[in-house]
Amino acid sequence: MAENREVTIYDIAKHLNISAATVSRGLKNSPAVSKNTRKKIAEVALELGYQSNTFASSLRSKTTKTLGVLVPRLNSHFMSSVLAGMEKAANKHGYNLIIAQSLEEAENEKQNADTMFNKRVDGLLISLAYDTRNINHLEPFFKRNIPVVFFDRVYSHPSSISVVINNYDAAYKITKHLIDQGCQRIMHIGGNLLRNVYKDRFDGYRQALKDHDLPFQDKMHLISELSEKDGTAAAKHILSMPAAKRPDAVFSANDTSAVYCMMALKAAGFHIPHDVAFAGFNNDPISKVIEPNLTTVDYAGETMGNIAVTNLINHLQGTGNLYSTNSITLRADLIIRASSLKNEVQKTK
């Protein structure tokens, strides 16, 4: 079809009966072209459906003002907060974000990385999929000096920076809080240990047990994808244990599985926190809706997104150097709520 042909500056020139060079200058808003002509050029460009040749101009200027973001999934309050923070920081500096999700699969992540590379993003922000084992798929970015910022689920690489929260510290504190409440048999519902976030939370949990002379037991460590179903399955697992062997506390690596585990145990007649205390991670909205309200870790997603993008843009604009920093670690505060307060007099919040 005729309309499907690429509209060029020559078409605009012909339409206005002016030279292509004038159109080219006009499209760049050059003062060498009269304001009136620039206006006409812009109108005809829109009318004819001219696509500004960002690709060609990016070859010259080396910039597209677009940042790519690769995420595992778009289904959590945490990730939507991160992306809102990124969006605000990007817009402030005149950048646009394009986002792709891997649905937690390494293969999709690889394809999305290719897409972002070929869409010529100026920089890449990435949080790894559940089962990504290496970052070979990011080599094209490193080769071309396109800066890469890891956030949340990170990977150590000399030419990139990581923005994380202190997962180890937060998990240590939350476990210690449960121990302070008199809990002795604390179960941990964790994620894939390939990912730093779950490894660090597990390590913090284990170290807190050790420092308080409590034994770590393998069967008290469940690994899952931390979904609603996984929370319900954890409750079934607890119910299948002999009463004396059951945990007196559960620390889950996210709020979703903590909440669904709580709901199933409540339905089975358990009193929370008396029979089992609960703590989650992320401070998702559901943590304030479940009764009793869930003790959790406040994950400053918006701050993380803002810092990741601001550092990336500063690097691109030459006002900062990403590669001089290895990682940025954000504070993560404990939020103590009724689900873990066995000992009412110790109620702190």
Enumerate binding residues for a copy of itself (CB under 8 A).
1, 3-4, 6-7, 46-49, 51-52, 54-56, 59, 62, 66, 73-77, 79-81, 83-84, 87-88, 91, 96-101, 103, 108, 111-112, 115-120, 139-140, 143-145, 228, 256, 259, 263, 285-286, 288-291
Return the number of the residue (80 or 310) whose C-beta is nearest a copy of itself.
80
Structure tokens at 324: 């001089």
Q: How far is the CB of 155 from a copy of itself (least distance, A)?
A: 19
Report the residue number, 37 or 115, with the smaller CB distance to a copy of itself. 115
The two structure tokens encoding residue 331: 């504070």
Measured from the CB of residue 144, what is the shortest distance to a copy of itself in angstroms? 4
Residue 294's DSSP bridge partners are none
Min CB(244)–a copy of itself separation in Å: 30
In the complex with a copy of itself, the residue whose CB is nearer, 85 or 190, is 85
Which H or E run contains 44? helix 35-48
Distance CA 289, CA 74 (A): 21
Other CB atoms within 10 A of residue 111 CB = 13
Task: Pick between residue 2 and residue 243 the one whose CB is nearest to a copy of itself.
Answer: 2
Comparing CB distances to a copy of itself, the nearer of 169 and 298 is: 298
The token pair that represents 108 in the structure block: 């999709």
- Burial (Cβ within 10 Å: 0-12, 13-18, ≥19) of residue 12: buried
Longest dimension (CA), the chain: 89
Tokens of 263: 């709901």
What is the closest distance, in whole angstroms, from the C-beta atom of residue 146 to a copy of itself in the complex? 9
Closest separation in Å from C-beta 183 to a copy of itself? 24
Is residue 123 classed as helix, strand or coil in its secondary structure?
A: strand
Nearest residue (CB) to a copy of itself, 112 versus 167: 112
Report the alpha-carbon distance of residue 207 to residue 217 in Å, rounded. Answer: 13
Q: Report, in Å, the least distance between residue 29 CB and a copy of itself.
A: 15
Q: Phi/psi of residue 149, each to 5°?
A: -115, 120
